[in-house]
């Protein structure tokens, strides 16, 4: 009964950061003292509360991510359904809020690594990566990720959170970071990574169709696979354009 009252206090007072942080701290102690407590009954209402109220009455904070990290590491957590609920929420926050992406990335990587052998987890990673890459097409201003072969350093202190161009830059950087994590750290399989490479090439082609130039961020990603990424991207575009012309004849 006390457990359910805490959940109610947490979700019903979510707009109050002080109360929310206190409730999460109480849950931390409960989980430490009683490891057998079912964590699902706090994950489901909390995730629902954030999704329904995010950006209005629920403004995420550092302690929210710390709490989700604790949940991600809990020995009783299973991927279906609760791990998936957390991953889906963190993925949304990762793409939506450029400046919170580094915080959202931690639970994303914990769950990805922990449940990497499960097909549902791999499916989610693949779909999220595809969605992340497609976001390049809606972030119109090209983001210069590479200067003379070196990645740009983008300290958060230099980013104006009220400047749309700065936010676009951070969001593009975040997409590149996620794809690198998936390919270079998770290493699901060679076939999986080749599928991501194909998505990068396809997205770059569409980007060129929309904006008249190839996307430097996507070209940078191709360096994971190719020593001459720009030429590979150009050859891919030419091949697909030729195939489309033949199909139209």
In this prediction, residues 222-232 reach a mean pLDDT of 97
Predicted model pTM? 0.87
pLDDT of residue 187: 95
The chain-wide mean pLDDT, for the chain, equals: 88
The whole-number pLDDT of residue 6 equals: 83
Position 136 scores a pLDDT of: 86
Element (H, E) at 197: helix 190-211
Q: What is the pLDDT of residue 138?
A: 82
Give the distance, in angstroms, between the CA of residue 242 and the centroid of all CA atoms in the same chain.
34
Say if residue 190's pLDDT is above 90: yes
CA-CA-CA-CA torsion sign (137, 142, 144, 146): positive
Residue range 158-187: mean pLDDT, rounded: 82
Measured between alpha carbons, how far is 11 from 7 in angstroms, rounded to an integer? 6
Check pLDDT > 90 for residue 126.
yes
Q: Rounded distance, CA 233 to CA 210, Å?
A: 16
Residues 6+ apart with CB under 8 A from 37: 3, 30, 31
Which of the residue ranges 34-43, 98-107, 196-205 would you say has the lowest mean pLDDT?
34-43
Average pLDDT over residues 224-236: 97
Crossing angle for the helix pair 84-96 and 40-53, nearest 10 degrees? 30
Q: Tell me the C-alpha to C-alpha distance, in Å, between residue 90 and each of 35, 60, 108, 225.
A: 24, 11, 6, 28
- List the domain boundaries for the chain: 1-115, 123-143+165-244
């Amino acid at each position: 009964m006390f457990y359910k009252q805490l959940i109610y206090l947490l979700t019903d007072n979510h707009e109050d950061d002080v109360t929310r942080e206190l409730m999460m701290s109480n849950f931390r102690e409960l989980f430490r003292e009683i490891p057998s407590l079912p964590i699902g009954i706090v994950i489901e209402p909390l995730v629902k509360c954030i999704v329904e109220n995010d950006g209005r009455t629920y403004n995420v904070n550092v302690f929210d991510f710390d709490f989700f990290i604790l949940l991600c590491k809990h020995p009783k957590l299973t991927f279906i359904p609760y791990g998936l609920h957390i991953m889906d929420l963190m993925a949304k926050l990762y793409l939506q809020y450029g400046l919170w992406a580094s915080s959202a990335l931690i639970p994303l990587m914990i769950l990805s690594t922990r449940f990497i052998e499960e097909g549902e987890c791999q499916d989610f990673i693949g779909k999220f990566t595809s969605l992340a890459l497609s976001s390049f097409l809606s972030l119109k201003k090209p983001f210069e990720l590479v200067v003379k072969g070196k990645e740009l350093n983008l300290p958060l202190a230099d980013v104006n959170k009220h400047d749309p161009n700065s936010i676009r830059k951070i969001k593009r950087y975040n997409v590149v970071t996620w794809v690198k994590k998936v390919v270079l750290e998770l290493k699901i399989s060679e076939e999986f990574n080749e599928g991501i490479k194909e998505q990068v090439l396809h997205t770059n082609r569409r980007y060129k169709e929309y904006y008249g130039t190839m996307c430097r961020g996507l070209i940078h990603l191709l360096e994971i696979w190719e020593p001459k990424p720009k030429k590979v991207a150009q050859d891919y575009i030419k091949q697909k354009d030729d195939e489309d012309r033949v199909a139209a004849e």
